[in-house]
């Protein structure tokens, strides 16, 4: 065997162990900032240098083309031109290449088309029409998502139809799924999911082909193994089953993509799948200070399901983490901006040394507005500028019509958004009439009976015109902007369509629209004689100047999900409140708290030198100011490395969500137990009314999300709250009676859990 290459000495002891590992399964548990990319590239280069494998006998799978390109370049620097012979790329690109060679064995030819998501939706839309379903009622995107989920779980159409039909939508999905698969084959096409499941089909039906690729890929490497789904796990397991020279690199503590189908059990159960597997933890962190690492470690230790490792570093202790306790989200944005400007001046940081990480995209709006006002350049990663997002532009187009219905561009944008039965042909006819007569489209719509259009479309146009005119009149009569906006969203069906879709994307869009309502409410409350015209003018100024120069240093703003794999000298993690981070946590048993905690761990470990945690005591929601409870994660982080802005320790209550007695009443939530034997309300005893006076406001149990019972309306859940003291109001959604607005001081209800 050749002498070991010099580059082996660039590694620490654990990294060298991983690189030198010969045959047999290997699990590299690579903590954040521990140099996993270096280990993976050095291991591949080492196998080739030591003649343990030829380049074309190594398969390396990544999750992004960027990662694959970076690794190949690094390997090329170590071993030269031989690196070009590697089988390296994303799962989809590598298995697409294999299928080009083998497609005829499963009924395709090598020139098959690859459908992206939009192609798939269009194919499903056509199938719906052919089978007498209305794509406006049965959304193609909903069926596409359901079919994609089924494919990635290796559930074929027949199995889906036999085992997973429990509703009308399930039945329609099963029918369309079966036809869709047949249609793809007829069209000699595969979608993105097929690029993972068709190789499994190929290998199952042709064992000789499987063995051919098992012999070809004597060594298999997989990066970010914690992000693999069931199909990816299955196909790589099949390829590795002969020689078991499978090396996977990942960190269970950074498994944050379950919503995409990632299965953390793939990495947790690796040693069960491969009994002879060697596990090597990479625990030395080269990125962060000791204080930041201690914070991350103290958080992740609260998870029950994890691989054993403890990160450490030779870096300095560094500054303690500062907790910003803000009044509301605008106070939060202002103070973060002030810290950035101060650190930039005192310590010489550039703007691109700073990152602001948040749980959901809509949180960027207030920061964008604040940074523009203060002259701080920024860039959004993984998302559009808030006011450039489709759903926001749609709502602003609706609002524009209330003051300028002659605006054909905005009218065309939303006249059939969401669908209201005004087809493309009818729209074309109406627009042609407008052009021929020299009138605006709105004038044609107001007199639609004079146009020769399909009768149902004519009726829909009349309803649309009535809605716009009614809302215009309400504005003229002095109704508030936020109330008119809420009614518009309700009557137009826009919010309803997002709720019915019930996908992660539609829920994000809904949250963005709610954030727009917050902006309108804030504008109205803080501007004398606020008008819709003045609000839209302010927004137009923001969007007109929203030009990002990639060459200009800028503060980075992104969700924590988008930040994975990146690092910054200074990081602000904002919005650390219950129901926001962890998202939807209060009284929601469906929330995966362990994954939310892993997400917080990822956020912490993006920081190199300085880290800030930030939370608000109140935040605008549904156009109203609501009190917030700080995140449980601030109670879990090590108190040794966290300080307030004054340098004092923060008050923590580690039992706040454990059901145990609070050790710090100032930070705990009071749980009110309901005595089922006691009458709900006694007209002679006012004490049986809802109590709203508390020595400590944090003890008030009637918060948004609380489950209550009323002596008339029954069981319900508080969905919003406004006002203070005797004027406190709550909106409760009751299971049997719907939505009710109640004065809290007189409401005959109690919290039941």
193, containing H or E segment: none
Burial bucket for residue 116 (CB in 10 Å: 0-12, 13-18, 19+):
exposed
- For the annotated binding site, the residues are 30-37
Separation of alpha carbons 376 and 340, rounded Å: 9
Burial bucket for residue 215 (CB in 10 Å: 0-12, 13-18, 19+):
exposed
Q: Catalytic pick from 254, 556, 605, 703?
A: 254
Q: How far is CA 349 from CA 339, 340, 345, 572, in A?
A: 11, 9, 7, 14
State yes or no: is 149 an active-site residue: no
- For the annotated binding site for ATP, the residues are 30-37
- The 3-state secondary structure of 621-665 reads ECCEEEECCECCHHHHCCHHHEEECCCCCCCCCCCCCCCCCCCCC
Q: Catalytic pick from 223, 329, 577, 578?
A: 223
State yes or no: is 224 an active-site residue: yes
Q: Catalytic pick from 606, 619, 656, 721?
A: 606
Helices marked H in 103-206: 117-130, 140-152, 157-163, 168-186, 194-205
Separation of alpha carbons 494 and 512, rounded Å: 13
Burial bucket for residue 263 (CB in 10 Å: 0-12, 13-18, 19+):
buried
- Smallest CA-to-CA distance from 705 within 669, 744, 728, 732 is with 732
Q: Which residues pair with 246 in a beta bridge?
A: 220
Helices marked H in 23-167: 36-49, 65-79, 91-102, 117-130, 140-152, 157-163
Q: Catalytic pick from 14, 15, 16, 36?
A: 36
Q: How many CA atoms lie within 13 A of 20 on its CB side?
A: 14
Q: Produce one character per residue of 350-383: b if its CB has 16 or more CB atoms within 10 Å, e if not.
A: ebbbbbbbbbbbbbbbbbbbbbeeeebebbbeeb
Check if the beta carbon of residue 729 is closer than 8 Å to that of residue 752. Answer: no
Separation of alpha carbons 239 and 212, rounded Å: 10
> Where do we find the tokens 């509703």?
167
> Where do we find the tokens 């994660």?
633
Outline where DSSP puts E strands in 494-577.
555-559, 568-573
- Smallest CA-to-CA distance from 553 within 381, 376, 382 is with 376
Full DSSP string of 351-385: GGGEEEEESSGGGHHHHHHHHHHHT--EEESSS--
Q: Catalytic pick from 37, 379, 439, 474?
A: 37
Q: Catalytic pick from 191, 193, 224, 578?
A: 224
For CA atoms 566, 567, 570, 574, the dihedral sign is: positive
> Where do we find the tokens 């009439």?
433
Separation of alpha carbons 558 and 390, rounded Å: 18
State yes or no: is 254 an active-site residue: yes
Helix (H, G, I), strand (E, B) or coil at 118: helix
Separation of alpha carbons 173 and 190, rounded Å: 19
Q: How far is CA 90 from CA 80, 100, 192, 721, in A?
A: 22, 16, 12, 48
State yes or no: is 223 an active-site residue: yes
Q: Which residues pair with 556 in a beta bridge?
A: 355, 379
Helix (H, G, I), strand (E, B) or coil at 579: strand
Largest CA distance in the chain: 94
Residues serving a catalytic function are 36-37, 223-224, 254, 606
């Amino acid at each position: 065997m050749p002498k070991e290459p010099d580059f082996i000495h660039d590694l620490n002891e654990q990294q060298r162990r991983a690189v030198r590992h010969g045959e047999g399964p290997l699990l590299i548990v690579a903590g954040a900032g521990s140099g996993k990319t270096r280990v993976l590239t050095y291991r591949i280069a080492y196998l080739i240098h030591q003649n343990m494998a030829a380049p074309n006998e190594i398969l390396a799978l990544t999750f992004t083309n960027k990662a694959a390109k970076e690794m190949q370049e690094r390997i090329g620097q170590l071993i030269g031109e031989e690196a070009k012979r590697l089988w390296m790329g994303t799962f989809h690109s590598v298995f697409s290449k294999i299928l080009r060679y083998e497609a005829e064995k499963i009924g395709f030819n090598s020139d098959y088309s690859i459908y992206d998501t939009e192609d798939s939706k269009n194919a499903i839309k056509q199938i719906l029409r052919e089978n007498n379903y209305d794509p406006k009622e049965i959304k193609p995107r909903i069926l596409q998502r359901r079919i994609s989920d089924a494919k990635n779980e290796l559930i074929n159409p027949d199995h889906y139809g036999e085992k997973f039909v429990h509703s009308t939508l399930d039945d329609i999905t099963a029918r369309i799924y079966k036809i869709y698969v047949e249609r793809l084959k007829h069209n000699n096409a595969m979608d993105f999911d097929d690029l993972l499941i068709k190789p499994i089909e190929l290998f199952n039906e042709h064992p000789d082909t499987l063995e051919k690729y098992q012999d070809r890929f004597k060594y298999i490497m997989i990066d970010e193994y914690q992000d693999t789904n069931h199909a990816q796990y299955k196909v790589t397991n099949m390829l590795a089953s002969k020689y078991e020279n499978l090396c996977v690199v990942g960190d269970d503590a950074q498994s944050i993509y379950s919503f995409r189908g990632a299965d953390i059990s793939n990495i947790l159960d690796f040693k069960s799948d491969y009994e002879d597997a060697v596990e090597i933890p990479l625990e030395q962190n080269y990125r962060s200070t000791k204080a930041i690492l201690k914070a991350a470690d103290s958080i992740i230790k609260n998870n029950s399901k994890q691989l054993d490792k403890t990160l450490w570093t030779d870096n300095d202790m560094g500054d303690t983490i500062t907790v910003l306790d803000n009044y509301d989200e605008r106070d939060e944005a202002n103070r973060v901006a002030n810290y950035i400007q101060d650190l930039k001046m005192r310590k010489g940081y550039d703007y691109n040394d700073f990152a602001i990480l948040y749980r959901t995209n809509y949180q960027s709006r207030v920061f964008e507005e604040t940074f523009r006002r203060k002259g701080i350049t920024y860039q959004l990663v993984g998302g559009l500028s808030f006011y450039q997002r489709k759903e926001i532009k749609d709502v602003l187009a609706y609002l524009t019509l209330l003051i300028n219905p002659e605006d054909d561009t905005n009218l065309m944008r939303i006249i059939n958004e969401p669908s209201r039965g005004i087809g493309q042909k009818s729209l074309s006819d109406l627009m042609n009439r407008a052009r021929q007569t020299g009138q605006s489209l709105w004038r044609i719509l107001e007199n639609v009976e004079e146009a020769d259009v399909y009768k149902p479309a004519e009726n829909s146009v009349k309803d649309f015109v009535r809605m716009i005119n009614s809302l215009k009149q309400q504005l003229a009569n002095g109704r508030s902007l936020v109330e008119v906006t809420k009614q518009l969203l309700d009557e137009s069906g826009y919010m309803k369509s997002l709720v019915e879709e019930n996908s992660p994307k539609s829920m994000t869009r809904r949250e963005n629209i709610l954030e727009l309502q917050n902006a309108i409410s804030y504008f109205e409350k803080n501007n004398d004689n606020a008008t819709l015209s003045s609000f839209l003018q302010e927004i137009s100024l923001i969007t007109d100047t929203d030009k990002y120069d990639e060459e200009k240093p800028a503060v980075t703003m992104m969700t924590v999900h988008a930040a994975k794999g990146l690092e910054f000298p200074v990081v602000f993690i904002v919005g650390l409140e219950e129901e926001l981070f962890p998202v939807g946590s209060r009284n929601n048993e469906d929330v995966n708290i362990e994954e939310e905690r892993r997400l917080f761990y990822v956020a912490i470990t993006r920081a190199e030198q300085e880290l800030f945690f930030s939370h608000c005591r109140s935040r605008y929601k549904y156009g109203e100011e609501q009190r917030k409870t700080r995140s449980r994660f601030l109670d879990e982080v090590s108190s040794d490395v966290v300080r307030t802005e004054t340098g004092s320790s923060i008050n923590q209550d580690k039992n706040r969500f454990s059901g145990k007695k609070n050790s710090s009443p100032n930070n705990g939530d009071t749980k009110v137990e309901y005595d089922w034997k006691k009458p709900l309300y006694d007209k002679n005893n006012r004490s049986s009314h809802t109590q709203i006076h508390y020595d400590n406001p944090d003890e008030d149990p009637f918060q948004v999300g609380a489950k209550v019972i009323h002596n008339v309306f029954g069981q319900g859940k508080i969905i919003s709250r406004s006002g203070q003291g005797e004027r406190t109001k709550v909106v409760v959604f009751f299971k049997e009676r719907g939505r009710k607005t109640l004065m809290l001081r007189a409401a005959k209800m109690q919290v039941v859990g």
